[in-house]
Amino acid sequence: MTSEVTQEEQSFGFSRVYAVELKYRHKPEIDRSRLFASMERYTGSTQQAGEREHAGLAVWEPDESGPDDLLHFFHLDYKVAYSEGEMPAQTSLMPVQNRPVDEYATAVQQSWHWREAGEVVSGCGYTLLLTDLMASGLMPQDRLQLMTGALRAVLEVAPCDAVYFRASDKLVEPQAYLAAVEQGELLYGAMNIRFYNVEGTGSGRNEGLMDSLGLAALGIPDVQCHFFDLDPSELAGQMMDVAYYLFRQGDVIEDGETIGFTEEMRWRCEHQYALAEPQRVVLDIDPGAPYYAGRQENSR
């Protein structure tokens, strides 16, 4: 991969490796055979590292199976095409060093959905890391579906106390996450709707910034709105609707096009770089005068 492609992905906010942390108060016991069965139930045909070559696919040989505490899976129903042929997407599960609770500070600050997040994470002393590999070439929906299935499999065999999605900087309560996924909310953990009060601009009005975090990591623009005097709770639902539309349909909204949830609503859209960290591409939403506090290049 060229450095230009790497830089383009970094500017967009794309994650070549997707990572989810499972936080535990105590080290879990993992039944490997049960985990493999759960992986097959939620992700389809699966092969573990250490098995022989299957159907012409190059996989690890037994002497390359890695350390005993690393679990690696090949998902044969999720193929990625390369110039040399197809390769199955893979996931790995491994213990990692437990990070200090202050490294989750921004996630805790935006945990409107789970007020106890900080307290729970501060009591966790063990972390498992679930990642994908060779999966960045999948369609965003398929990639997230694979990670969702793998995470469900791990949670079924080794329930944890908190789940942290690195790409969305979001902490979720495991049972709430599973319930949301059952209802088809695949972005429940993978996307975070964040809200910031904007102060010190001298506007004298209620100024805010709301954005999503997590879509760009999958290759889809996040959404953003810099606004005056809008109801944050109502706007959050509208931002969620736009984000799910982009997730399902792809980056199909062109600069200058408008979106609306009513006959009267015509909110103009433009691709920009995010106002709030991390750097990534967002679809900036202009709700029109007198509510828009941002700037678009080709504004009316």
Instruction: Write out pLDDT tens, residues 56-78.
Output: 444 443 334 445 688 999 999 99
In a domain, 292, yes or no: no
CB atoms within 10 A of CB 191: 28
Return mean pLDDT, the chain.
90
Residues 170 and 270 in one domain: no
In a domain, 296, yes or no: no
Q: How confident is the model at residue 55 (pLDDT cuts 50, 70, 90)?
A: very low
Residues 234 and 275 in one domain: yes
Residues 158 and 98 in one domain: yes
Residues 111 and 199 in one domain: no
> In whole angstroms, what is the distance from residue 291 CA to residue 63 CA?
62
Write down the pLDDT at residue 200: 67
Write down the pLDDT at residue 275: 96
CB atoms within 10 A of CB 153: 25
Cβ pair 223, 213 in contact under 8 A: no
Reduce the DSSP state of residue 22 to 3 states and report it: strand
Residues 59 and 181 in one domain: yes
| Domain region containing 153 | 15-185
Residues 158 and 255 in one domain: no
Both tokens of residue 189?
Answer: 């953990």
pTM exceeding 0.95: no
Residues 22 and 162 in one domain: yes
Domain count, the chain: 2
> In whole angstroms, what is the distance from residue 48 CA to residue 251 CA?
35
Residues 27 and 168 in one domain: yes
**Mean pLDDT value of segment 152-177:** 98
Residues 152 and 59 in one domain: yes
Q: Which of 187-191, 258-262, 283-287 has the lowest mean pLDDT?
A: 258-262
CB atoms within 10 A of CB 291: 16
End residue of a domain, out of 168, 185, 202: 185
